[in-house]
């Protein structure tokens, strides 16, 4: 194609790109691109604590991988959508092992998510697990991930010594974390990390949705993300 001068025009380049993407070998490259973008380098579902994994099938990690890959295939290869579709899509795939985690019924066909709860790959179990601790909610880890991977805003590592504020009895996890990071030196980063992280507060380490905390209090997911005009 280059020898024939076909790469000199946008139409010629597009034709060659479409030809290469139609090759079965392209599928692995597309999967690798999305996994690298969303930080899914390993399947972290199997590494969660025994309490988190209690009652889940042994093949849940493999099931989540299949769902992730099928979602990528559906949008980028079958439909030709852009990468943004992977962040906003209400569509997913869930077999008998994954469906209970997503609150769906098993099906081999594409399914519609409850978009009041989740949409796109950000809330997919494979992605949530990659950016969550072994046990409990991980709003700061997830918030840093959203900033770095989606908003392209690097987040500095935490200081070697963390503040040790006094906590009031009955505080929620969010209240404790906000007290921990209220100092101006912490807020330089946590003003950015907090809002997207707290938005994902209801998701446990394998991506299940819990609208209330362990004490039965509604999760406070309110927040505003400040985006640079540039």
Q: Is 111 helix (H, G, I), strand (E, B) or coil?
A: strand
Cβ(206)–Cβ(53) under 8 Å?
yes
Q: How many residues does the chain have?
A: 230
Q: Rounded CA gap, 71 and 85, in Å?
A: 10
Go through 13-45 and write b for each residue having 16 or more CB atoms within 10 A of its CB, e for each that does not. eeeeeeeeeeeeeeeeeebeebbeebebeebbb
Could you give the percent of the chain with pLDDT greater than 70? 99
Name the pLDDT band for 229 (thresholds 50, 70, 90): low
- Give which of 151, 116, 146, 155 is closest to 228, Cα–Cα: 151
71-79: average pLDDT: 93
84-93 pLDDT, tens per residue? 999 999 999 9
pLDDT of residue 24: 87
What are the φ and ψ backbone dihedral angles of 205, each rounded to 5 degrees? Answer: -65, -10
Question: For residue 144, with 0-12 CB atoms within 10 Å meaning exposed, 13-18 middle and 19 or more buried, which class applies?
Answer: buried
Could you give the percent of the chain with pLDDT greater than 90? 76
Q: Which helix (H) or strand (E) is 91 found in, with range?
A: strand 91-94
122-142 pLDDT, tens per residue? 999 999 999 999 998 899 999
């Amino acid at each position: 194609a280059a020898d024939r001068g076909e790469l000199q025009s946008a139409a010629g380049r597009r034709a060659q790109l479409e030809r290469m993407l139609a090759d079965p070998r392209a599928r692995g490259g597309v999967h690798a691109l999305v996994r690298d973008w969303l930080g899914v380098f390993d399947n972290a579902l199997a590494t969660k604590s025994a309490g988190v994994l209690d009652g889940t099938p042994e093949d849940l990690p493999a099931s989540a991988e299949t769902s992730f890959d099928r979602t990528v295939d559906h949008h980028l290869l079958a439909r030709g959508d852009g990468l943004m579709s992977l962040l906003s899509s209400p569509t997913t795939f869930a077999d008998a092992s994954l469906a209970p985690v997503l609150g769906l019924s098993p099906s081999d066909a594409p399914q519609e998510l409850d978009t009041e709860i989740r949409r796109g790959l950000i809330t997919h179990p494979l992605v949530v697990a990659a950016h969550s601790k072994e046990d409990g909610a991980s709003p700061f880890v997830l918030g840093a991930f959203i900033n770095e991977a989606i908003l392209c805003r690097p987040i500095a590592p935490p200081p070697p010594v963390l503040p040790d504020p006094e906590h009031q009895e009955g505080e929620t996890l969010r209240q404790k974390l906000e007290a921990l990071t209220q100092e101006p030196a912490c807020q330089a980063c946590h003003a950015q990390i907090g809002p997207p992280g707290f938005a994902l507060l209801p998701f446990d380490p394998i991506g299940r949705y819990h609208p209330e905390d362990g004490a039965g209090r509604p999760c406070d997911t309110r927040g505003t993300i400040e985006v640079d005009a540039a």
